[in-house]
Chain A
Amino acid sequence: MRAFASLPVVVSLMLTSSSGHLPLPQASADESTPESTRIPQSTRFFEPPVTQEPRELPHHPAFREYYFSRVAYTGYPRGWARGLARGGGSWAVDYPKADQIFLSFVDRLLSNLDAYEWQHPVLLDDPELRRFPYLYALEVGYMNLTPPEIDGLRGFLLAGGFLVIDDFWGPREWANFEHQMAQVLPGYPIVALSQDHEIFSTFYEITELLQVPNVRNGWASVNGGSTAECFGCLPQVKGIYDENGRLMVVINFNTDLGDAWEWADDPYYPLKFSTYAYEMGVNMIVYAMSH
């Protein structure tokens, strides 16, 4: 299946081209965000989650085929400093740089895909949510869905939408995620995806499950440091199927694909993790759009 492209080579070429700059959208992240895609402000420490304002659809001359839609969910407050410094809730970790770099790679790796080039956050209670059948959510250990969000996500998944979960670690965060999903899809079990699942071979042949570290652990791993963010955490890929055996949710647990996408231009971040993260990212898109 690794028929035409060697992802590490592509990644390397992209990282070293154009005087070391990534082929990002021209404007900076904040400036490049279209007015109409403005997203809600973060929740503050010791404050209840704010009611998120309705977001308008981006105005495009034509709808694009694929949007990398990041779920802007309601979350728990996450620490004083971090919450203020990043200007976003847990949903917005790595946002928007990870999204932009990921899309710039997708543009080359899936050259036939008609993908919207910009980050694209969506609300789960947005009536237009189902127009974007591919959702990406991370840091779901801090997810605290409101009833309208629960209804919205349930409708999205049961109608045929596809949700990718990423970057949450350890039993506590797992427990929260499990609790949230039990509200969204009561009675739908979370099961492990074995290595021979089609999602590991839809585009790239992925034969080994890697634990993708965040950027700091990535640097450290070069010198033998741990890639895990919690003690003894092993990477897992799990899923939730509908009653007809169709995969609705892919859960990347104890791993951080988003950081690998975001820091793919960092010369000190190990290439093998970026490669794996992009391979997995592309496979999930192709799988979602064909299965």
Chain B
Amino acid sequence: MLESLFEFLFKYRLLLFQEGDFAFTSPWPWTIGLILAAALAIPSALTYTAALGDSTAADRGIMAGLRLGALSVILFSLLQPALIITSVVPQRNFVGILIDDSRSMTIADRDGRPRSEFVARNFTGRESDLLEQLAERFTLRFFRFSSRTQRLGDVGELEYSGSRTEIGAALVRAQEELTGVPLAGLVMITDGADNSGEALAESLIPLQAASTPVYTVGLGEEVLSPDIQVSRVEIPRSVLAGASLVVDVIISQRGFQGRTVKLVVEDGGRIVASQDVALKRDGEPVVARVHFAANEVGPRLLRFGIPLQPDERVRRNNMREVLLNVRDEREKILYFEGEPRWEVKFLRRAVADDENLQVVILQRTAENKFLRLDVDTPDELATGFPRTREELFRYRGLVLGSVEASFFTHDQLNMIADFVSERGGGLLMLGGRNAFREGGYQGTPIAQVMPVFMDDELSDGSGPYFAEVDVRPTRSGLTHPAIQLGQNAEAVEEAWETLPPVTTLNPISKLKPGATALLEATAGRSSARQIVLAHHRFGRGKSIVLPIQDSWIWQMHADVDVDDQRHETFWRQLLRWLVDGVPDGVSVETDRERVEVGESVGFRAAVSDSAFMEVNNASVSAFTEGPSGQPVERRMEWTVDEDGVYDAAFVPTEPGLYEIRVEATRAADSLGTGSTFVYVMESDEEYFNSGMRRTTLERVADETGGRFYTPETVSNLPEDISLTGAGVTLTEERDLWDMPSLLLLLMSLVGGEWLYRRARGLI
């Protein structure tokens, strides 16, 4: 509306004034104009001041001013004002038109018509004004883009079946294709729902460098309503069999404010969990926390879905599928205890039924006398605590009980720190009379690994610290899988509140930056909180502290029922968490967990030896095996830019589950094997977050010197490219003297004087 008014008054669109330069094109020199102006203005002024009549000085001043204004407008027009415009030479420049060919273009949110209808209407057939105008001015080159970008011979070939939208890659590809021709700009017709996961800024750099403007045309509604979407599922890619999972499901919605919907989790068609989710205000995402156990072994395709609601705009974004690899492995943990303690008995008892945990006990029963339990071979730990990296790094988790730091050699202390930072293992330090500061760990390499400071704020200094503490989960703890003793947050809180108090000898109250406390307690007179369970990432691994000395009370206290499983559940979850994500000597990961047939799958393998030193000279082979069961061997090459990392890629040819198994050897010695899975199936990714991304498209246009359009404003596109585009250009003048606004101004000034005179009775 405003643009139309502007164009009516000033003859041209605002864009021309922005892009063009202003100039007077009169053949007379400006001095002549000045003299002429003086010749007209001076007599006028004299006439008005001389003829007094009934007028006052103010009247005369106003009337003289109006008259001089009218003369100025006439003079301005006589000087022939003009805009100097640089515009492209017709038919000498190319324009690349990139059309989104992904599935989201089929969403019918344009008055019930699909987004692709805009393309069909404007870029096919001879009746399209837009195509005609563009074709008059430019040589057009069409591209289609989704997960790939291809030249398009005929717009009718578009299928709208692409599984992803990669805007950045499409722009780069189109620019490369049009290198060497005068390129006036690129037109991108899309909903902007980029789901490539790549940063857009990098893709725009070559366009900025080549001064190639991008004109974006946004299709579809920015906000789809009513609609419910399962936006994200936070779940690990791999867990141990029997793991208790706490999965966060983020649900977005518009138009269903205040309603309650049911979230259902399915594993192979079997419902493993379901819960009601109360939706909040429109646009406000809800995090639903679902608890269930991963009991079925192998790669599992889990579905998190919400039943379709009435009138939903997008029907295929109510369900997300995620691949979860449930490993049936026995994770080996070393628990080194410096003295006979009940914790050993009750910890063993708690995890005895867990077939996926093997807790090897090394217990110092007297000076230089050790009890070994659950070792695999007679030689294992025969000389006490491991003295070499190979010996220690065979374990995935290490639990240190009440054993003084001076027991270890300096090399062993360093080795324990490396166990976490380099091997990626999990370290759990328990409380006790010889643990933490009381065990002399201050200033040792292990102190650096810990998530807490050992400075004492809780103790009053009058003697050895001792506190009986009621343990409670922190806010972070309520959502953490390790301490889930109930099916929901309320049940978890209640479960902890009803556990009996335990005792601690280690005053710990300060977290290191980046560390998180999961359990804590009020202790002593200090207002500081005794930390009971805290953790942080350290290098490749994790470090956890549990500075209490008798968690077995949670099993043995008179208030705890004999059949109560909280103690067992806590320890099982804690130890599983301890070894969760601990890498193997050979570990494999893909760049995506789901692809479609024909899409390339990149995968990388990190290879290290038994001391977890990266190996760059290994011979690494990958075996990819699809549903038909014929493994294909591929050689993986060292990436060079990263130690011990090898990569390769393959293109799946059939839908279904693919296993990628990697074997690494060095000089005929096996370094180990690793495997991962990838699911090949049609993706619904395009239907998620599929509203038109105006900000993304505006950003692309702004940063490249183009403009953003909607279907309603796109008619200006051909002219805009002509005026602002790159390529072969010429300069032209556009007259401004005949702008309607000047005539209106002149009439207003003259008419204004006449009205003033009438009003003042001066006629």
Contacts and interface: CB of A to CB of B under 8 A. Distances in A.
A61 B463 contact: yes
B42 interface: no
A114 B339 contact: yes
A285 B363 CA distance: 13
A112 B365 contact: yes
Nearest to A152: B558
B544 to A, nearest CB: 22
Contact of B366 (A111, A127, A128, A160): A111
B369 A62 contact: no
Contacts of A289: 340-342, 344-345
* SS of A interface (majority): loop
A203 B364 CA distance: 11
Chain A, interface residues (CB within 8 Å), range: 35 or more
Interface in A108-131: 109-114, 127-131
A15 B270 CA distance: 71
B342 A133 contact: yes
Contact of B371 (A129, A133, A203, A244): A203
B562 A158 contact: yes
Contacts of B352: 244, 246
B345 A112 contact: no
Nearest to A108: B366
A172 interface: no
A47 B557 CA distance: 34
A62 B505 CA distance: 9
Interface in B317-372: 338-342, 344-346, 348-349, 352-353, 361, 363-369, 371
A286 interface: yes
Nearest to A198: B373
Interface stretch (B197-205, B548-556, B610-618): B548-556
A131 B364 contact: no
B366 A109 contact: yes
B466 interface: yes
Contact of A4 (B353, B369, B553): B369
Contacts of B553: 131
Contacts of A155: 558, 562
Given A114-B433, A131-B557, A244-B352, A3 B369 contact: yes
B381 to A, nearest CB: 14
A8 to B, nearest CB: 16
A61 B562 contact: no
A114 B344 CA distance: 14
A165 B503 CA distance: 30
Contacts of B349: 160, 246
A112 B366 contact: yes
B371 A286 contact: yes
B556 A161 contact: yes
A69 interface: no
B598 interface: no
B750 interface: no
A133 B560 CA distance: 14
B366 A65 contact: no
Contacts of A113: 339-340, 365
B365 A110 contact: yes
Contacts of A111: 366-367
B464 interface: yes
Contacts of B556: 130-131, 133, 159-161
B345 A290 contact: yes
Contact of A112 (B353, B364, B505, B562): B364
A286 B345 CA distance: 10
A286 B503 contact: no
A219 interface: no
Contacts of B339: 65, 112-114
Interface of B: 338-342, 344-346, 348-349, 352-353, 361, 363-369, 371, 373, 433, 463-464, 466, 503, 505, 550, 552-553, 555-558, 560, 562
Given A3-B368, A114-B433, A246-B352, 20 more contacts: A4-B367, A4-B368, A61-B463, A65-B339, A110-B365, A110-B366, A112-B367, A131-B556, A133-B342, A133-B556, A159-B555, A160-B345, A160-B552, A160-B556, A203-B369, A286-B340, A290-B345, A290-B373, A291-B345, A291-B373
Interface of A: 3-5, 61-63, 65-66, 109-114, 127-131, 133, 155, 158-161, 202-203, 244, 246, 285-286, 288-291
18 contacts: A4-B367, A61-B463, A61-B464, A63-B503, A65-B341, A65-B342, A109-B366, A131-B556, A133-B552, A158-B562, A159-B555, A203-B365, A244-B353, A286-B340, A288-B345, A289-B344, A289-B345, A291-B373
| Shortest 4 CB-CB contacts between residues of A and residues of B | A112-B339, A62-B466, A130-B556, A127-B558
